[in-house]
Amino acid sequence: MAKKTKTNSTELVTIHDQKLSRAQGGELHQTAEDGFDVLTTSQGAPVADDQNTLRIGARGPALMEDFHFREKIFHFDHERIPERVVHARGYGAHGFFETYDSLAEYTRADIFQRAGEKTPVFVRFSTVAGNKGSADLARDVRGFAVKMYTKEGNWDLVGNNIPVFFIQDAIKFPDLIHAAKQEPDRAFPQAQTAHDNFWDFIGLTPESMHMVMWIMSDRTIPRSLRFMEGFGVHTFRFINAKDESTFVKFHWKPKLGLQSVAWNEAVKINGADPDYHRRDLWQAIQSGNFPEWELGVQLFDQEFADGFDFDILDPTKIIPEEVLPVRPIGRMVLDRMPDNFFAETEQVAFMTQNVPPGIGFSNDPLLQGRNFSYLDTQLKRLGGPNFTHLPINAPKCPFAHFQQDGHMAMRNPVGRVNYEPNSFGKGPRESPARGYRHFPAEESGQKVQLRPESFADHYSQARQFFISQTPPEQRHIVMALTFELSKVETLAIRERMVSHLLNIDETMATEVAHRLGMQSMPKPAPAAVPTRQDLEPSPALSIVERGPKRFEGRKLGVLVADGVDAKLLKGLTSAVTKEKGLVELIAPKVGGVTVSDGSHIDAHHMIDGGPSVLFDAVALLTSPAAIEDVLKEATARDFVADAFQHCKFIGYDVSALPLLEKAGIAQDLDEGVIALPGEDGLAAFVEELGKLRVWGREPSVKLSSASPPVA
C-alpha cells in the first residue's frame, strides 16, 4: 500500500501550478496517433475537427450546438480591448443612398420599393491587418462597410474591396488573422503579411489561392478610397412579398473608376504621408467633390446556381461579370464627415446579421459564422449590450422593444409593463404581416463537420484571375509574390507556395522561383480538383482595363519656381479644373513664388513635403532665371525621377529641360514626357493625363521587372 501523506492548501496550489507548468510545456499533453499534441477546447475536451463548423448536410446551415466553434470565435472576438482585432485602422463618412428603380419583383425591402428613395448611410473604410496607428497604404485588403438607416431598420452591408476571401469556413478565421498579424513572440511585422507565419498558414490552406492572386495584385494598394470597388463577398437572398427568393451578390462601383499605386510608390507614400487615404477622403468631401459609387447586383435563381461551374455558397469564388452582368440599382454619395471621429467612426458597430425584411442569407458557411460572431465583438468592444443606444448605431426609424437595463442604458421601458404578452394592452407586439420573415428553405441531412465536394476546386478561378490581368498587372503579382516570399525565412514554406503557384500558372511560378533563387522547382501541390484551362479571361477583373480614361478626381502636382509663366500656369490650372481635377503647387518654399506678371502665389507644399508620389501626374513649370536654384534642390531631382520611375505623365516647359537632365531621364523621354504647348493646347495634355500611367515605360525603369511580361 502506498504511504499516505498529508497535504495542506498551500501545497495543493503549488502542486497544481507545477502540473500546469508541465502541461504548458508539453509534458502532460494528450498525444494523437501521429505524435502531435491533441487539440482541445479550453475545457480540455479533445477536438475531432478544427476545419469545419457543424452543419446540416454538406451545404446546410451551421448549428448552434457546435461548442468548439462557439468557444473559438468567442475567445477570438474578445482578444483586444478596445481596438478592433481586425479593421482597426478605419475612416468613415456620412452620405445617402438613392434607389434607381423599384425592385419589388425581387424584394420586399422598403429601401428598394420606390424610385428616387434616399436613405441615410454611414460608410467605414479600413485596412484589415494593421493596428490603429499603422499606415494607410499597407498592402492589405480594404474593408468596405456600409450602414444604411432604412425605414425598416438598419441594414449593414459589411464587405471588402475584394469579392472573395481566404477561407471557406468561419471556424478558420482566428487562425487566418493570428497568422497574418505580427508574430506573437516579437510583435512584428505589423500591417504586413511578408513573414513566415502568414505564408505558412496560406501554404497549408489551398482554398486561399484565389485570394492570394487578389492580395498580390494592385487591388490591395489602392490610390484612394474613392477609387476602389466594394463587394458583399457572400451570396445573399432577396425575398419578395410572396416569400419568393432570388440569390443576390452585391457590388459597389466607384464613379471615378479604379486606380492603384505601384508598390515602390506605396512605400514612399507611407513615409511622406501615412494618412494619405484619410486626407484624400477628407479633402474630397470638404471641397465638395463628393465620392460616389453605384450599387449593382448579380441576381440569379436556383437553376442558375445549380448549373454554374462553382458552388455559389463558396466565399472563395466569384461569378464573372461576363457570365452574369452586374445590374445597377442605386447610387451612394458621401457628402459629410463625422463631427467626431471617436463617437462615430470608432464606435460604429457593423454586423452582417443586421438586415431589414426582404434581405436574407444563404448557407455560405463563412457568412453563417460572421452572423454568429459579430454580436460578441460589439459587446466586447463597446462595453455592453446597449451599443445600439449610441447615436451612430441607433436606427433612424421608429423602434420599440422590451430590452432593458444593462451597462450604459440610455433608455428603458416606461411604466409597469416590460414584457409581452400582457393584459394591459401596453407595449409593442409582433407583426406577422410587416415583420421579418426568414426564407423557408427546406434543409435535411446528417449533422456533420465536413467540406462539400463542390468547394474543392482551389486553383481554377485563381488562374482565371491571373490570365485576366494585363501584362503590367501580371508583373506586379510576380514581384509582390517575390517580395513577400523573400521575407520568409523558412525555405520549405517558400517551396510549398511555389508548388501551389504551379497549379495556377507555370510561367508565373517559374518566374517567382527564379527571382527567389531556388535551385530546383518543386512538384505541383496535390490538387483535389485539376485546374481548369477552359475558363475565359474576365476583363472586369483588371484595374487597367477598367481604368477611368479621364483625370476627374485626380491631382496634378505642379513644381513651380520664381518667374514661372503666369499665363501657362493659369491655363494649365483652368484645363485641369475643367476636367474636374485638382492642381496643387510645389515650390522651394511653402511661402510660394513670384510669377512672371509680378504677382505672388502661395504654394501648397514645399519640395521636401510634396514629393511626386502624392500626385497622379506632374508638371514642371520653372523659368530660365530660377532653374539653377531649382537644380540645387536634391528633392526636386527626386520629384522628377520618382514620377518617371512610377510611370506618370510629366509635362514641362522648355526652361525645365535641365531638371530632366539632372534627374537622369533626358535621354529616355517617351510619349509620357510631354513638352507643354501654349495655353491653347493644354486641354489635349490634360486629356492625355486620363490614361494615368505610361505602362510601356515600366520595363525600362525596372519598377517591377526588367524582363518581358509574364503573359
Q: Comparing C-alpha atoms, which of 680, 579, 552, 570 is closest to residue 621?
A: 570
Q: Is the peptide bond before 421 cis (omega within 30 degrees of 0)?
A: yes
- How far from 158 is each of 146, 162, 354, 677, CA to CA, in Å? 6, 12, 10, 48
Let me know: does 690 contact 550? Beta carbons within 8 Å: yes
**Do the two domains 74-186+222-389 and 555-701 of this chain adopt the same fold?**
no
Contact (Cβ atoms closer than 8 angstroms) between residue 331 and residue 99 = no
Q: What is the pLDDT of residue 39?
A: 78
Q: At 453, which amino acid appears?
A: E
Would you state the CATH architecture of domain 555-701? 3-Layer(aba) Sandwich (3.40)
Instruction: Say if residues 503 and 528 touch (Cβ distance below 8 Å).
Output: no
From the list 520, 475, 486, the residue with the least C-alpha distance to 697 is: 475
Residue 670 CA to residue 706 CA, distance in Å, equals 17
CA atoms of 377 and 380, how far apart (whole Å): 5
Q: Hey, which residues are catalytic here?
A: 87, 160
Cα separation, 274 vs 278, in Å, equals 9
pLDDT beneath 50: ranges in the chain: 1-29, 81, 704-711
Domain boundaries, given as residue ranges, for the chain = 74-186+222-389, 555-701
Residue 31: its pLDDT value, please?
53
Residue 394 CA to residue 408 CA, distance in Å, equals 14
Q: Is 123 in a helix, a strand, or coil?
A: strand
Q: What is the three-state SS of 443-468?
A: CCCCEECCCCHHHCCCCHHHHHHHHC
Q: What pLDDT is stored for residue 34 in this prediction?
A: 62
Which H/E stretch holds residue 606?
A: strand 605-606
SS3 302: helix
The one-letter amino acid at 252? W
Give one word for 494, left, alpha or beta, with left for phi > 0 and alpha for psi -120 to 50: alpha
The Cα 159–Cα 153 span in angstroms is 19
Q: How many residues are given for the chain? A: 711
CA distances from 108 to 158, 434, 551, 568 (A): 21, 10, 40, 57
Q: Quote the CA–CA distance of 198 and 204 in Å, as a whole number.
A: 10
pLDDT, one tens digit per residue, over 50-98 is 889 989 999 999 988 787 888 788 778 866 647 888 998 999 999 999 9
- DSSP for residue 708: P
Asked if residues 117 and 99 have their Cβ atoms less than 8 Å apart, the reply is yes
SS3 category, 706: coil
Domain 74-186+222-389: top CATH class: mainly beta
Task: Write down the pLDDT at residue 51.
Answer: 86
pTM to 2 decimal places: 0.89
* Helix locations, 487-594, DSSP H: 491-501, 506-515, 566-578
Using CA atoms of 338, 109, 145, 222 in order, give the dihedral in degrees to the nearest 10: -110
Helix extents (H) in 324-459: 341, 365-382
Per-residue pLDDT at 180:
97
Contact between residue 384 and residue 367 where contact means Cβ atoms under 8 Å apart: no
Question: Is residue 692 a contact partner of residue 261, using CB atoms and an 8 Å limit?
Answer: no
d(CA 558, CA 566): 13
State residue 469's pLDDT score: 98
